[in-house]
Amino acid sequence: MCTHTQQGQEYKVFVGGLALQSREDSLRDYFSTFGEIVDVVVMMDRNMEPPKSRGFGFVTFATNEGRETCLEITEREIDGKRVSCNTLGSYGTTPEEAGRLEAFDPGQPTNWILPA
């Protein structure tokens, strides 16, 4: 998968809630209004005939400005279905840099269940 990085940064967005008929062209058309798109991937269920969207995908922007502009929008609709977008903090961006997640503090209790 081709991704755009600059100084360890990747300007990728997770897109959830996609319609079964959603394809990469739909995402590219919608998200290109926010900035230059480098890559679009819709995760497909290959066990269905014909293959259908698994309901999520990823969009990679050429710049952080494109990603941030996209994330400012609170209501999005693609292929007749409302979708959500989130940053991927683990892809070269710390939570503090993303500005959308709180920093993890190992000294604080969490609700995570870790395997024994």
Q: Where are the domains of the chain?
A: 5-92
Tell me whether residue 24 is exposed, middle or buried, using C-beta atoms within 10 angstroms of its C-beta: 0 to 12, 13 to 18, 19 or more: middle
Span 74-115, pLDDT tens digits = 889 999 999 999 887 544 444 444 444 445 555 555 555 555
Residue 48: predicted pLDDT: 82
CATH 3.30.70.330 for domain 5-92: yes
pLDDT at 14 exceeding the cut of 90: yes
pTM strictly above 0.85 = no
Q: Give the mean pLDDT of the chain.
A: 78
Residues 6+ apart with CB under 8 A from 99: none
More confident residue, 100 or 48: 48
CA distances to 1, 18, 116 from 26, in Å: 18, 10, 43
The angle at the Cα of 59, spanning 58 to 60, to the nearest 5 degrees, equals: 120
Closest CA to 77 of 27, 21, 23: 27
